[in-house]
């Protein structure tokens, strides 16, 4: 554990934005976290950011405070019953590596979340989801460290108040806790979820005749790789916007003007519209201004082609929001956290 000053955060965010942190340190144990939180310099700055994989954040300016990098590691099978495995992962574990560990051990239910960037700790905070599965569907509990009370508290599924890319940690408890570990409830007998997107088409293309969690994971890896740029090559944070929800009636009205609108049912009265489709209809797909741009393969992804600033990417997102609102009367909401 080493406290550093004026450290570039470029290596620590997948957008590759070059901003400075006033103070920076990594912690590998809860004791080290406690020691850092009691550091006199942190007490004077009164501002801290817990950083995981940096995959869902856009820095628009230097961070005038304390950045603490979560490096907690470890994966273990903590319990099982007739139907489920209970698998605990430390918050600093890389998400995709954890998913692959589960698949290798035939822990089912997590395979649709393959290749999502980031670390385990962000999964409940964002209630990450893809291809018809969200964290809330496989979540059992988590341990989090209260920054001010300096004690570990366990949160159940109900405690987390999961919503669409939302949780209690992004709302009333924002900035109050450090997620230490997450325990997932994974099936012994898989229930395959292939109805979303192009999964079935990809499985057919792969020649899969015997469906398995391994095959579904590989299909999703193929699909995501074909649409989403590798953050190691082109800076991005995956999906930049949430898919907006509208009423069934409003969708019916919109289809009078455009039958090909991409929408998915939420319940009997509501649908989610693909934000990427809305953005593409407004002409942004493949747009580039300087080094800030909109991915040519998936319009939902904003990218940094090299030296874009966070403000340039943020300004581009604002223009996109305004154009979608002007054309469709729908206000897009950013999924990425803006700092």
Q: Residue 43 pLDDT > 70, yes or no?
A: no
Q: Mark whether 55 is an active-site residue.
A: no
- The predicted model scores a pTM of 0.86
Q: What is the largest CA-CA distance in the chain?
A: 62
Q: Mark whether 8 is an active-site residue.
A: no
Quote the CA–CA distance of 109 and 114 in Å, as a whole number.
11
The average pLDDT across 252-258 equals 75
For 118-161, what is each residue's pLDDT tens digit? 899 999 998 998 888 999 999 999 999 999 899 999 999 999 99
Q: Mark whether 165 is an active-site residue.
A: yes
The fold of 235-338 is 3.90.78
Domains of the chain, by residue range, sit at 4-70, 75-187, 235-338
Quote the CA–CA distance of 194 and 202 in Å, as a whole number.
10
Quote the CA–CA distance of 107 and 40 in Å, as a whole number.
44
pLDDT recorded at residue 250: 81
Which of 26, 55, 239, 317 is catalytic? The answer is 239
Residue 179 burial (CB count, 10 A)? 26
The fold of 4-70 is 3.30.43
Which of 123, 165, 167, 202 is catalytic? The answer is 165
φ, ψ (nearest 5 deg) of residue 320:
-65, -45
Quote the CA–CA distance of 320 and 279 in Å, as a whole number.
7
CATH class held by domain 75-187: alpha beta
Beta carbons of 274 and 301 less than 8 angstroms apart: no
Q: Which pair of tokens denotes residue 129?
A: 């989801």
More confident residue, 196 or 84: 84
Quote the CA–CA distance of 41 and 56 in Å, as a whole number.
27
């Amino acid at each position: 554990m080493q406290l550093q000053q004026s450290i570039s955060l470029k290596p620590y965010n997948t957008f590759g934005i070059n901003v400075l942190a006033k103070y920076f340190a990594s912690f590998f144990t809860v004791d080290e976290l406690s020691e850092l939180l009691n550091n006199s310099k942190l007490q004077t700055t009164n501002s801290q950011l817990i950083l995981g994989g940096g995959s869902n954040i856009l820095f628009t300016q230097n961070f005038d405070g304390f950045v603490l990098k979560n490096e907690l590691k470890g994966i273990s099978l903590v319990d099982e019953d007739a139907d489920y495995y209970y698998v605990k992962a430390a918050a600093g574990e890389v998400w995709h590596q954890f998913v692959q560990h589960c698949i290798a051990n035939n822990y089912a239910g997590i395979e649709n979340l393959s290749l999502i960037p980031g670390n385990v700790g962000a999964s409940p905070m964002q209630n990450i989801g893809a291809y018809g599965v969200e964290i809330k569907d496989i979540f059992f509990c988590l341990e989090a460290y209260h920054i001010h009370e300096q004690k570990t508290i366990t949160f159940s599924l109900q405690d987390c108040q999961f919503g669409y890319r939302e949780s209690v940690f992004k709302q009333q408890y924002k900035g109050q806790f450090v997620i230490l570990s997450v325990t997932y409830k994974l099936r012994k007998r898989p229930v395959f979820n292939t109805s979303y997107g192009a999964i079935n088409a990809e499985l057919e293309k792969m020649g899969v005749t015997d469906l398995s969690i391994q095959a579904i994971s590989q299909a999703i890896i193929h699909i995501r790789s074909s649409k989403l740029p590798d953050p190691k090559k082109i800076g991005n944070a995956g999906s930049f916007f949430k898919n907006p929800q509208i009423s069934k009636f409003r969708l019916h009205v919109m289809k009078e003007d455009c039958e090909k609108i991409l929408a998915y049912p939420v319940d009997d009265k509501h649908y989610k519209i693909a934000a990427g489709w809305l953005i593409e209809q407004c002409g942004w797909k493949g747009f580039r201004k300087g080094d800030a741009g909109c991915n040519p393969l998936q319009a939902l992804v904003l990218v940094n082609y090299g030296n874009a600033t966070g403000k340039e990417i943020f300004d581009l997102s604002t223009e996109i929001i305004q154009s979608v609102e002007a054309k469709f009367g729908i206000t897009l909401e950013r999924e990425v956290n803006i700092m």
